[in-house]
Structure 1
Amino acid sequence: MSFNQQSPFYNPRIPFTGSIHGGLQEGQSISISGRVLPRADRFHVNLQCGSRAGADIALHINPRYEGQLYVVNNTFQYGSWGAEERKYNSPFPAGSPFSLLITVSRDSYQLNVNGIHFADYRHRLPFQQVDTISVAGKVEISSIVFQNPVGAFPSYPAFSSQPGFPPQPGFPSHPGFPPQFHVNLSHQSGIALHYNPRFNESTVVRNSKTWDQWGPEERGGGMPFQRGQPFTLTICCESHSFRLVVNGMQAHNYKHRFTQLQNITTLEIEGDVSLTSVNV
């Protein structure tokens, strides 16, 4: 079985319809990060069998804001909707960010929201027929990321992104130093965000630097990276903080210490990592 690594969709214009290359596979997942608009009445995420109007919809996820908050899950086939499955503990409050993870299992779609299990929706249509994702309604989306089943990728040794350091299989590229890398968002007088996974400490350090002075480190929130495994990191710049989403799951939130966001002009990535794409 072969798996193609599909590029994410970033900041799509809503309503949005996009292709799922090769269709869905068991064990595959789709992570959708975004924000419900204030005063929203409803929005939806569909996994569809085709992109034409009237196409069958294998999974319809439909948060509604009609007096009370609830979420409708359903399937559309033969030109009509099936029986609704409703959840009244909606994790999608209006005006709030969310991270939705849809995982394809043999019998159902498993839905996680903000890292917490939300629902299982049993298949009414074969998931192999799904080849399209669509999003519409009162919502903005920062990223839609496709993750292949665990084990679908070979493990690659870490290597330095700096020229002059050839890959050393199984070893960090700087002898005597454990493998790590960092992502910096910088301005003229320092670093607004320093994001630094450290594998030997099993933590991600976040910090800011003004001139030559580092501030206090933030270390909570777990370690979402694994040595030798591919990842997608999305940095969402919001009004009060940077929201850091790893493989579609919100991993960290870093409150702005440097608030002149328009002066952040440089992205720097350095260390034991190889890059397949960078989108700004």
Structure 2
Amino acid sequence: MDPLHFLLQPPVFYPIIPYACTIFGGLRPGRMILIQGSVGTCATRFQIDFQCGCSTRPRSDVAFHFNPRFSSSDANIICNTLRKDHWLDELKFSGAPLRKGESFVLLFLFLTDKVKVSIGGQHFLDFTYRLPLKDVDAVGIYGDVTIKEISFLSSNPLKSVSADLQKTPLSKTFPMGLSECHAITVRGLVTVNPDELTLLLKSSDSIPFKLTANFQDQSLSYNSFIGQSWGQPQNVQTPFFLFYPERFFEILLLPEAGLFRLAINGTPVNDFRPPVFDLKSIEELQITGSAGLFAVQC
């Protein structure tokens, strides 16, 4: 069977550590997260935190803290929970088959009352939840580690969330315009047979930012409509297409001085510098095309 049938959201490849991302739809019993990577040759520790949000100040609760430490040939793994900025009693698991300078495959299987962790295909530990699983909606990775891939797995990814999606086209207005660091986050689900997905920012007489994902040729491009004409499209350079049919996506758009910064599914992509940049004049966000939307935050 095609392994994509088990993917709940697009995988993340080679994220820059430290790294944190949203788990679309949160965790629930039966979900699995597969993490492949390698331990640094001089590593002392790294950690994978299953968090209730991505806040750093105040720090989000951590439902499951998975923390390998390398003081000898084999690793010891510390597991714990952070609640209201206080660590609870830690559990120590000795003799983990993780070694400095070597690659690993970790599989986290989330059940009703506990998470089961396997290393290299072999079960290694169970950890009973101390916070509700339904509150966990992010994963953070920190420390002396290189991550090759994070995969979000489920046998039935769409059933519980598809009914809650908003249809496109969708519009959001900005009565006071935009400002620098006014982040826009769009989360949604690509349709079964997608054609094109477009996100644009409009003013009364121009479109300073337009992002187009074309599923036919798997291309991403920027453009702007200034002075009654479209500019020359600028291709967004990525090692692979960042959208998948029937998969979740997250678009983060951040205006800064003279440019728009963009990240898709946690992957930063090219900056776009429109020929005319007046954030205060931008009045509307429009999203159209082959997707349903479950969160638009402006």
Provide the TM-score with structure 1 as the length reference: 0.52
After superposition, residues 94-105 of structure 1 pair within 5 angstroms as: 94-105=100-111
What CA distance in whole angstroms lies between the structure 2 residues aligned with 1:10 and 1:144? Answer: 7
Q: Pick one of 66, 71, 75 that aligns with 1:66.
A: 71
Q: Say whether residues 1:35 and 2:30 are aligned partners.
A: no
Letter in 1 for 2:8: Q
User: Are 2:37 and 2:149, in contact at CA under 8 Å, matched by a contact in 1?
Assistant: yes
Match of 1:147 in 2: 153
Q: Deviations over 1:69-98 (max 9, x none)?
A: 311011000211111110111121111100
Shift of residue 153, structure 1, vs aligned partner: 7.1
Shift of residue 4, structure 1, vs aligned partner: 8.2
Q: 1:22 aligns to what SS in structure 2? A: coil
Q: Pick one of 10, 19, 33 that aligns with 2:13.
A: 10
Structure 2: runs of 5 or more not aligned: 1-5, 160-245, 247-298
Letter in 1 for 2:35: I
Q: 2:64 aligns to what SS in structure 1? A: strand
Q: Deviations over 1:61-120 (max 9, x none)?
A: 000012463110110002111111101111211111000000110110010110000100
What CA distance in whole angstroms lies between the structure 2 residues aligned with 1:11 and 1:61? Answer: 20
Change (3 A) 1:7 1:151: closer
Q: 2:134 aligns to what SS in structure 1? A: helix
User: Are 2:28 and 2:112, in contact at CA under 8 Å, matched by a contact in 1?
Assistant: no
What CA distance in whole angstroms lies between the structure 2 residues aligned with 1:60 and 1:25? Answer: 17
Structure 1: runs of 5 or more not aligned: 155-229, 231-280
Q: Deviations over 1:159-196 (max 9, x none)?
A: xxxxxxxxxxxxxxxxxxxxxxxxxxxxxxxxxxxxxx
Q: How many residues align?
A: 152
After superposition, residues 27-176 of structure 1 pair within 5 angstroms as: 27-53=30-56, 54-67=59-72, 69-148=75-154, 150-152=155-157
Shift of residue 5, structure 1, vs aligned partner: 2.3
Q: Pick one of 27, 32, 36 that aligns with 1:24.
A: 27
Q: 1:25 aligns to what SS in structure 2? A: coil
Aligned Cα root-mean-square deviation (Å)? 2.0
Structure with more relative contact order (C-alpha pairs < 8 Å, separation 6 or more): 2
Change (3 A) 1:21 1:4: farther
What CA distance in whole angstroms lies between the structure 1 residues aligned with 2:15 and 2:41? Answer: 19
Letter in 2 for 1:40: A
Match of 2:164 in 1: none
Letter in 1 for 2:14: N
Q: 2:8 aligns to what SS in structure 1? A: coil
Q: Deviations over 1:192-244 (max 9, x none)?
A: xxxxxxxxxxxxxxxxxxxxxxxxxxxxxxxxxxxxxx9xxxxxxxxxxxxxx
The percent identity for this pair of structures is 34
